[in-house]
Structure 1
Amino acid sequence: MTPLDKPLRREVQIGDESYTLTLDPEGLKLVRKGHRKGLDLRWVDLVSGDAALAAALQASLEAP
């Protein structure tokens, strides 16, 4: 296996929108192309089951 020791970026098409997915040693980030803010998930939250809670909290903070 190859360790994830630096950020890995890939473009993902979701519907009609393009996103940038970044994987790094801390977690993952999904951002709409051309924007700065997006969804951040830490690996520790994902494996502990707190990822859904963290995503819901982040979404509530970004709501208008």
Structure 2
Amino acid sequence: MIKLDKPLRRELKIADRLYTLVIDPSGLKIAPKGHRKGVDMTWKDLINGDAAIAAALNASLQNG
């Protein structure tokens, strides 16, 4: 198994739009390609089942 000790970046195409996915030791982030602001989620939130709450909160902060 390879340790995740530095960010891993990948490009995604979702509904004809490009996004950047960054996976690092603290969690993951997805943002529209070329933008810094996106949805962040820590591994702890994902494991604890708080993923839906964290995603909704991030979305409300960015839209508000």
TM-score range, shorter chain: over 0.9
Tell me the TM-score normalized by structure 2. 0.94
**Which residues in structure 2 correspond to 1:1-64 (within 5 Å)?**
1-64=1-64
Q: Secondary structure at the match of 2:12?
A: strand
- Aligned-partner Cα distance in 1 for 2:62–2:10: 24
Quote how far apart the aligned CAs of 1:61 are.
1.3
How much is the aligned-residue C-alpha RMSD, in angstroms? 0.8
Alpha-carbon shift at residue 60 of structure 1 (Å): 1.1
* Structure 2 unpaired stretches of 5+: none
Question: Secondary structure of the equivalent of 2:18?
Answer: strand
Runs of 4+ residues over 2 Å off in structure 1? none
Distance in 2 separating the partners of 1:49 and 1:18: 27
**Percent identity over paired residues:** 62
How many residue pairs are counted as aligned between the two chains? 64
Structure 1: runs of 5+ lacking an equivalent: none
TM-score (norm 1): 0.94
